[in-house]
Chain A
């Protein structure tokens, strides 16, 4: 997993088509400009420009080139990581109001789960959640693998499951994370109304 903390990268990924190309498609599989153009219903030129921007900043690379029978030279592009997360503090700095609005909306939407946070406490909730996610990203992005060669030989599903088990374990081992998590959970508990709308 790669944490994106560079403000320029975050701004680059705020463009919806670019975000869709990388987070929805290229993290999963290598694809050509034509395939991406068909999926996003954009013209190939637009996709090519986005790919070039993503390539310039190292989020995308050329995996292989194939020549078709019709003479087309297809390039397959792929994301440089299988999973990305945006550094939340950097996202707030890079996008200003957009990211803050998104966080506030996220917190307000917890009401559907019975967590009603009053307007005056939303700022506090945003700060708590930001600190928690930042710490989580910091730990999750650290390299926990001790044997890279054996890791490369694992199947992708084993690799994914093992990675999730170990990231969860690493988080539980971190006292700072535990403290932040407890504060966040206590905050949520204190605002739980417990009313269910059946």
Chain B
């Protein structure tokens, strides 16, 4: 059951997409609900950050002056901006990670009992808010942290030009693009793959730290199954997004091409959000449950020769 094979991974994908489409209405309504809640939370968090900043910096002009002052900073200043930006970004992205985490809760309900409800997502959102936000922050830091560290270390060693080199190097027009693009893709797939069991473990009742440890341990111990499913999902995502990579060239093409791409892009995005994302949460939760099947299980003595009790009371 735990071993990975081509057949097992194809089955994982088939079952995930089958359950996702079967619960499509619940997912659409639940996703719309959590997106609205997350947006409200985002506004509240942004208000909590920027309103005090507005008064401390002395009104709108002061705030503009504060942000424009960043442009004159040296490499040490860039370090501050990067770290400060990260600290501001974390509370802003946290509500969306909670929303994604709550989807894993719905996935768990489906994998364990074949059905879910719209209110289920709100229950997970409310009950696991801090754990899921913490999990999201860990994911954010692990995936983006090393990249920021490289940028910072590079800027200290090579100067501010390193930022420009990396950013221009990653642009499609540069000869560096394939190398940097490939390295970034590998890092993204590996780091997110290592943490792919993070949200299912949080939903299973583990703390953020425990869930992080468990996810990394599982993805190493069952490398083939975890990464097999993860890479399969990433490949599907890549295949769906592949046509969009031609967008810059299409812009230069005659208008019917632009219209065609736009018409195709809308259903593609809807399918990605309302079918692919739920299928991903279902698939990863299912793999988590299969792989942790005998972790906490206890055996009880087999019932043999059961019959009516003769002695009552007590």
Residues of A at under 8 Å CB distance from B?
30, 32-34, 37, 43-49, 52, 55-56, 61-65, 67, 70-75, 78, 140, 152-153, 155-158, 160-161, 164-165, 167-168, 171
Contacts and interface: CB of A to CB of B under 8 A. Distances in A.
Given A45-B124, A72-B111, 13 more contacts: A33-B113, A37-B113, A43-B120, A48-B108, A49-B123, A52-B205, A61-B298, A62-B298, A63-B298, A63-B299, A67-B290, A164-B314, A168-B314
A171 B294 CA distance: 40
B307 A157 contact: yes
A155 B306 contact: yes
29 contacts: A30-B300, A32-B112, A33-B112, A33-B113, A34-B113, A37-B113, A43-B117, A43-B120, A44-B120, A45-B119, A45-B124, A49-B123, A62-B298, A63-B298, A64-B297, A71-B11, A71-B15, A71-B19, A71-B286, A72-B111, A72-B112, A72-B113, A156-B306, A157-B308, A158-B305, A164-B311, A167-B314, A168-B313, A171-B314
B111 A73 contact: yes
Nearest to B293: A65
Nearest to A30: B300
A44 B307 contact: no
B289 interface: yes
Identify the 10 closest CB pairs spanning chains A and B, nearest first: A71-B15, A44-B113, A155-B305, A45-B120, A65-B293, A34-B113, A164-B311, A73-B289, A161-B311, A157-B307
Interface residues of B, number: 46
B311 A45 contact: no
Contacts of B312: 164
Contacts, number: 110
B116 interface: yes
B114 interface: yes
B18 interface: yes
Nearest to A38: B113
Nearest to A75: B112
Given A65-B294, A73-B111, A156-B306, A78 B311 contact: no
B68 to A, nearest CB: 49
Nearest to B285: A73
Contact of B300 (A49, A63, A70): A63
Secondary structure at the A interface, as helix, strand, loop or mixed, is: helix
Contacts of A152: 301
A51 to B, nearest CB: 9
Contacts of B289: 65, 73, 75
B174 interface: no
Nearest to A76: B297
A44 B116 contact: yes
Given A34-B113, A48-B108, A78-B300, A67 B1 contact: yes
Contacts of B243: none
B81 to A, nearest CB: 42
Contact of A155 (B112, B123, B307): B307
B217 interface: no
A61 B293 CA distance: 12
* Most chain B CB inside 10 Å of its own CB: which residue of A72, A153, A155, A165: A72
A37 B14 CA distance: 26
B109 interface: yes
B69 interface: no
B111 A62 contact: no
Interface in B88-132: 105-106, 108-109, 111-117, 119-120, 123-124, 127
Nearest to A164: B311
B37 to A, nearest CB: 17
B297 A65 contact: yes
A54 to B, nearest CB: 11
A140 B314 contact: yes
